[in-house]
Chain A
């Protein structure tokens, strides 16, 4: 059957080369537990978790090893069974350090799988929220907002729709695609739980049309789930940005500076919904995540379920390592918004959606040239900004003018920098401008 009614947001956006063919047909592989993990204490928005174990403690897989600090925070659990080797500071890419708990695997006491109880009626709202919090569920699309907070909207806010973000608009990444195909029961269940928790009547799973098989399958399966719809979206970057997702699906525009709840909507990532379902129904903690390991420079591009804290170099090795004679860059996340790292001993965290090995030839490192005022940046900007103007002001120290023309409105999606024929690093300049403006405003 043909896919009817494909929606999209009206202005801006860009078609990127997808490169998803490398992994879109691959079922999720489960990576065996690594010998050691480094689990950061701050994988989420908000205050870092506080460790509740010390060096030398023996921990089981799924055991809580750090507790929430304050309201906006999340629990951290061990992803393997073993001994706590240390609680250390490590360098981040760029500036700063992060704290993490090092655990070394031992073969003792392999934790048995949690008993799967049959899924019955939806539990009470309070139970849902409690279990989500206990499981340490955070937004797995990359931002890492503590989910239990999202499931408890402030008094006075009425949520009418929950949207599951199945857009996955970044090139290379196919995590959500595979989860939609393989874990749709968990997904639908998770969606129902979210709906109950926030009090919404409607649930929509939004999927870009480059995942036709997922759309068709879910449209079929959703027939059994009244109150859940599947909505097809045009393949366009950045459909995955939640404000643009809402605009496309419901044609509601989240006002500047506000959150989706301002338009009575809650948005969740596919994998988050899956984790919610497992957390609530089986009290399963978040100890692993599925991510796409891909890139033209990788031997075996795959979708892999990886224990949290696994070092990136081990993940790459699991996928066959880099191709011979290939010069490459490692991107954590997607190639548009991900981070370029040079330290392969960084760990996988709850928000790591992908590891991409981009060949040096593909990598964007062309020389920066003059702005020829072609206006492409303005055409593709989903926030309707003119990046060339913003950057002109930032680069000349005119921060207030830059603010006037939308410096703070930029969602840093990178569409403008991608399309710029003069290869100007617009997003980097905007990030710098924002930082400078924050410093000035303090």
Chain B
């Protein structure tokens, strides 16, 4: 029966329905799910399905749909959420996630078609912010070893092919680009997806990556970007409809992703970038409505206006960013996200010490324990290796991470292997000097591994130095001459701080001095130093007080020899080590804990080059009271040999541990040096370490010498 409303057309309809749209995307995600299960196991399958089914169940009270799995939209949203979870989350998390997706992300806004924000991402954001530690625990694929994602490890951590196939740590569904693309191609061929948004999103990402000086290919292949570009940005309900609105939406999203990755602690960026542009959908649709057929004037005006606005906004953003850039808050490739990842529960990182981008020492206060993070950068084979140590208050190394390195991909890069790095855990500051002896270096990557060891050593030494600048516990007296007689006082030091002061004797004018003492004591306890403000009307008394305090504090301070690495008794020592052309023999005189003299007994170095280097080095050692001195450019082996000789002279205990000649590198211009194998298995020269002899008057910055077999030496 035709009724009024039904009499006009169209009288035929396409077979597509909401269900066909939703379930097609689910089907497209099957390769992704398979890849996820392959890499991360059956628990990953549980997580994904739990999320999807939880979403379906929690939606039931809100919808009238009688189908068991609903119209597919809840299942899909839950599935998407599940695929973005790390494979290590607890069993209840995806169930909570499903709830958040449909109740908070969707029905709170009015149900299907009415939500402003992508429901899976709403749930993900809530989980990220509520359970940060749970949401960032990554594991290596296939073996489940705890690790960090490519974004955190850096662009060189994995090869492009690993990133594409998916054999990398990450969320369950985000890692395999191939699986993701298979699904994407399926959706495109079946006409369920419009490519404008994924392509413009990717373009925005690439553009921003180039602006910020990042590798665009790595940027695309990491951080779940392709997953988001194909499956999250294209969510119909939350994305715009008009052609140019879609394109701007995508570009903005891609740009924001990189921006967020760069300037905030959140490594992936996509979650929040997409939520932000979701909010802009409606406005973009309004602004970029296409001109209608027959309307040519329309488009030019409106789009011109908004293009101008957007261009201006982007330019302002870019200019702002270049200004921000100059402040580089952390040295090298260290970023806030590294610190945050290491100690997620921390609110704040207090920077304790920092030198010329060599070592950063950041201490963080947490509710339960204080942890110290030390960043050390030491030159590797060609570029610095950047190491981050996480130490517990007692000086125990809890964890170590390689922030960045450019060593050879096949050998040197193995310094990132957990087997190698795990050796460093449980070392404490007490082990600082023995580390080199007690760690196994990586065969074929001796130099790189040694650099890491030295970095750790330097970090521990810094911690030791820090610890020792505190006052020593005890009771100390000090005295000084006041106006009418001596003032004698006693300070009590506990846990490195002055906690009490007692005046033992004084003869100053009582009504002036007493209030002064009280105030000065208050200041002293607050400032923990003798540098206080004099009290008005009792200037001389105040100054005497401060002098007495200073004396007491001086007694409480440890010896100022703390910067010395040398824990040897006074005496005269002899030692020798390989230089460039032969052994360098030295005599070292130690007095009062310091090296006062170094005599060269024998050396065979290159005249006017090597021998000068030996002199310069030994002078430097005496001046700095440290073995960490600059090598002389062009005469590395001579400098290094000198240092080693001194070390050998002093370290008779450790001599037995030094089976092989050790070298030390410091900030020279990419000086490459040789080291001997710790294992005997390679008498052939490893590719990374093979070097050739250079002539003495070579101008090149790289001085290289031929690799020697164990025990032998030739110049």
A residues neighboring B (CB under 8 Å)? 11, 16-17, 93-95, 171, 243-244, 247, 253-258, 329, 331, 333-342, 358, 362-366, 369-376, 378-379, 382-386, 388-389, 405-406, 409, 414, 417-423, 425, 427-428, 431
Contact = CB atoms under 8 A, between A and B. Distances in A.
Nearest to A387: B241
B292 A373 contact: no
Contacts, number: 154
B18 A363 contact: no
Given A334-B9, A421-B20, 5 more contacts: A256-B294, A331-B9, A338-B11, A370-B114, A421-B18
A342 B2 contact: yes
Given A336-B9, A339-B8, A418-B13, A373 B294 contact: no
Contact of A363 (B5, B11, B73): B11
A335 B17 contact: no
A337 B9 CA distance: 5
B292 A335 contact: no
A419 B16 contact: yes
A93 B7 CA distance: 7
Contact of A243 (B18, B291, B293): B293
Nearest 3 Cβ contacts at the A-B interface: A414-B10, A364-B13, A370-B113
A254 B2 contact: no
Contacts of A386: 241-242, 285, 289-290
Contacts of A371: 113
Interface string B1-31: 1101111111111101110110000000000
24 contacts: A171-B12, A243-B293, A253-B294, A335-B9, A339-B7, A339-B9, A340-B2, A340-B11, A341-B2, A358-B12, A372-B18, A372-B112, A372-B237, A374-B236, A375-B194, A382-B293, A384-B292, A388-B241, A414-B10, A417-B13, A419-B14, A421-B20, A421-B21, A423-B17
Interface in B84-139: 111-114
Nearest to B10: A414
A384 B294 CA distance: 10
B16 A389 contact: no
B295 interface: yes
Contact of A358 (B11, B236, B240, B293): B11
A373 B2 contact: no
Nearest to A375: B241
B10 A335 contact: yes
Contacts of A389: 241, 285
A369 B63 CA distance: 12
B313 interface: no
B294 A258 contact: yes
B328 interface: no
A95 B295 CA distance: 34
Contacts of A373: 113, 236-239, 241
Contacts of B189: none
B14 A418 contact: yes
Contact of B112 (A256, A335, A370): A370
Contact of B291 (A378, A384, A421): A384
Contacts of A406: 292
B21 A427 contact: no
B8 A431 contact: yes
A428 B7 CA distance: 9
A244 B294 CA distance: 10
A423 B20 CA distance: 13
B298 to A, nearest CB: 9
Contacts of A95: 4
A376 B192 CA distance: 9
B296 interface: yes
B469 to A, nearest CB: 64
A258 B296 CA distance: 14
Nearest to A331: B11
Interface in B21-52: 21
B236 A340 contact: no
A331 B11 CA distance: 8
Contacts of B294: 243, 253-258, 383, 409
Contacts of B236: 372-375
A383 B292 contact: yes
B136 to A, nearest CB: 33
B120 to A, nearest CB: 15
Contacts of A365: 6
B288 to A, nearest CB: 11
Contact of A418 (B5, B8, B12, B111): B12
A384 B11 contact: no
Contacts of B11: 329, 331, 335-336, 338, 340, 358, 363-364
Contacts of B112: 370, 372
Given A372-B21, A378-B242, A388-B241, A335 B12 contact: yes
Contact of A366 (B13, B113, B296): B13
A382 B2 CA distance: 28
Contacts of B113: 370-373, 422
A6 B239 CA distance: 34
Contacts of B14: 418-421
A376 B15 CA distance: 13
A254 B292 CA distance: 11
B6 A340 contact: yes
Contacts of B21: 372, 374, 421
Contacts of B4: 94-95
Contacts of B9: 331, 333-340, 414, 417, 427
Given A373-B241, A374-B236, A421-B21, A428 B293 contact: no
A414 B616 CA distance: 90
Contacts of B194: 375, 379
A374 B238 CA distance: 9
B243 to A, nearest CB: 8
Contacts of A254: 294
A418 B2 contact: no
A336 B8 CA distance: 9
Nearest to A377: B241
A286 B72 CA distance: 56
A435 B468 CA distance: 88
Contacts of B12: 16-17, 171, 335-336, 358, 362-364, 418
Contact of B8 (A372, A409, A428): A428
A370 B236 CA distance: 13
Contacts of A384: 290-293
Nearest to A19: B12
A414 B1 CA distance: 21
Contacts of B114: 370
A17 B16 CA distance: 13
Contacts of B6: 340, 365
A229 B402 CA distance: 74
Contacts of B5: 425, 428
A427 B18 contact: no
Nearest to B281: A373
B241 A342 contact: no
Nearest to B5: A428
A420 B241 CA distance: 14
A187 to B, nearest CB: 28
A16 B1 CA distance: 25
A329 B293 contact: no
Contact of A421 (B8, B16, B239, B296): B16
Contact of A364 (B10, B20, B285, B289): B10
Nearest to B12: A335
B258 to A, nearest CB: 26
A378 B241 contact: yes
| Residue of B2, B6, B12 with highest tally of chain A CB at under 10 A | B12
| Residue of A341, A371, A409, A421 with highest tally of chain B CB at under 10 A | A421
Contacts of B2: 93, 329, 340-342
Interface in B191-226: 194
A419 B16 CA distance: 7
A405 B289 contact: yes
